[in-house]
Structure 1
């Protein structure tokens, strides 16, 4: 039986609850002890809607908070490599992120995260020789140039992967930042901020990325292009500051694709030198809901080709 509409709410305890409407019945998903159970109500077809969904949930004992929302996607659907969940900075909080990137993306996710870990470990090794302090951000060297090039090429691989997975751009021999910029809005890249662990340095590497200056509005990426194509003329741009901003951008791209939970010890427990300190506030209507909830199944990718950025 095909679901017609799904409406989602947040309970007063901070948990998600939702209602799927089918012909003649509504199925409520009730939060309980970190999971959900189903409760069915018989309804007239004309009764489907936001207020009816609220009534069904309250009849099932859920006290909802706020107005709720109609879901953009049906349960089980998702945009490939574009995270949509609820993240709080504690495993005891009301986080919600049921899409397991390893199960859904398999080798694609594994290669992305291993490549990022390898590069971030290389950056951490630099700290044995150069302290990541504000006064040292202009330091440059051959090793920092190599790292800047390697990290930025991996960033380009992430951008390309999201573009191709969602068919947001026609295949071509060489993408430019005008092409790559199309992932900025779906991934909410301008809204992420990360902190370097053990150090008082924060980064918002995509904060000023814009269509008017798609390359120069990313200064670290613009400098990467300069040192890649003309080492002799631009060697001094191979700075620690640029490497840290690029590394922060790489971390952001991992969490924007696969969710912040991949770096939390109670879930993915992958390595990074950064922690997320600010993430996008995802609207209730955009959150991915699994189907069926008990198995946490996602099997219906929805491409963004019709949503041009």
Structure 2
């Protein structure tokens, strides 16, 4: 997988992965002086096929919306317009949810036969996870200066976040429990049925308002999906990398329980770093580490909007 553009006298190409988190590596930057078209260059040099035009300017990001291309902690802060304190606060919330889920797994082994299990503990976690999720949704609606259709925000409003946050792309797998199907918590979310098309959220909504009738909706599966949905929202705002690399209990718990990846992703939405060449640059075909050579320019951050 590769990403290319032309600038000044040069063609520029970054190598990337075509699975997992679709990392784009500025440490493997290929450059060459321009000759012909960039389409000819990427075909002749890299054997490019299935070429897709990017949907955003090179070096451009959207505040609070992670896409592949943002990897380093400094980039997470600047490209996503986040702060360390915001990230630490969000990590504490994720730690609590993961702790509660891990505790459930001590008593109920996740598997096809147990996913419909429900109890007061599963109901407690489902309500906690979905309440946390509503807070995350509401934050984005307010950042976009969006007003609710009625008195308060509902899933009819929140579903508008599906496309601009790329929520349906995220998939989480319970690594230690291969019998449990991967969770894509937002896959299939529709404006036509904004609550019912999220079965885990619909279950939360029913059991929260009528425990006696809908206690059985607080299933282990709904808990797993609701926690996964929170991990998706964290990853959108701060990237998935702090979940793996922050250290301490949170990273240990996350790595023990989950693997996160992107599926059916829109490559044209990825963030591609803009580099600046020094005076009298080399026009030969060369591979450089543009990050370590301080050639990568600051990201241009656009505000989030619906």
SS at match of 1:19: strand
Alpha-carbon spacing, 1:149–1:298, altered in 2? closer, same or farther (3 Å): farther
Q: Deviations over 1:20-70 (max 9, x none)?
A: 3xxxx33433559934376665x9xxxxxxx63345678xx9435136454
The normalised TM-score by structure 1 is 0.72
SS at match of 1:194: strand
Alpha-carbon spacing, 1:98–1:158, altered in 2? closer, same or farther (3 Å): same
Residue pair 1:140, 1:240 contacting (<8 A) in 2 also? yes
Aligned with 2:208 (options 203, 213, 228):
228
Instruction: Tell me if 1:185 matches 2:160.
Output: no
Equivalent in the alignment of 2:9? 26
Cα separation, 2, equivalents of 1:161 and 1:19: 37
Instruction: Tell me if 1:280 matches 2:275.
Output: no
Alpha-carbon spacing, 1:246–1:31, altered in 2? closer, same or farther (3 Å): closer
Equivalent in the alignment of 2:46? 63
**Structure having greater relative contact order (Cα 8 Å, sep ≥ 6):** 2
Cα separation, 2, equivalents of 1:164 and 1:52: 43
Residue pair 2:11, 2:32 contacting (<8 A) in 1 also? yes
Residue pair 1:101, 1:109 contacting (<8 A) in 2 also? no
Aligned with 1:209 (options 186, 189, 199):
189
Residue pair 2:14, 2:28 contacting (<8 A) in 1 also? yes
Cα separation, 1, equivalents of 2:161 and 2:14: 33
Equivalent in the alignment of 1:17? 4
Specify every segment of 5 or more residues in structure 2 that has no aligned partner in the other structure, as ranges.
16-25, 276-289
SS at match of 1:193: strand
Higher mean C-alpha displacement, 289-298 vs 138-147: 289-298
Cα separation, 1, equivalents of 2:214 and 2:50: 55
Q: Deviations over 1:127-155 (max 9, x none)?
A: 11121122222222222111111111111
Cα separation, 2, equivalents of 1:222 and 1:67: 39
Distance apart, 1:263 and its partner CA: 3.8
Pairing of 1:1-309 with structure 2 (within 5 A)? 14-20=1-7, 25-31=8-14, 34-36=27-29, 41=34, 52-54=37-39, 62-66=45-49, 68-85=51-68, 96-98=69-71, 100-103=75-78, 104-106=81-83, 107-165=85-143, 167=144, 169-170=146-147, 174-200=152-178, 201-202=180-181, 203-264=183-244, 270=251, 271-272=253-254, 273-276=257-260, 278-283=262-267, 285-292=268-275, 294=291, 295=294, 296=296, 298-305=298-305, 308=306
Specify every segment of 5 or more residues in structure 1 that has no aligned partner in the other structure, as ranges.
1-13, 44-50, 86-95
Residue pair 1:80, 1:301 contacting (<8 A) in 2 also? yes
Aligned pair count reads: 267
Cα separation, 2, equivalents of 1:73 and 1:231: 47
Alpha-carbon spacing, 1:168–1:130, altered in 2? closer, same or farther (3 Å): same
SS at match of 1:17: strand
CA-based RMSD of the aligned residues comes to 3.3
Distance apart, 1:168 and its partner CA: 6.3
The normalised TM-score by structure 2 is 0.73
Cα separation, 2, equivalents of 1:36 and 1:169: 40
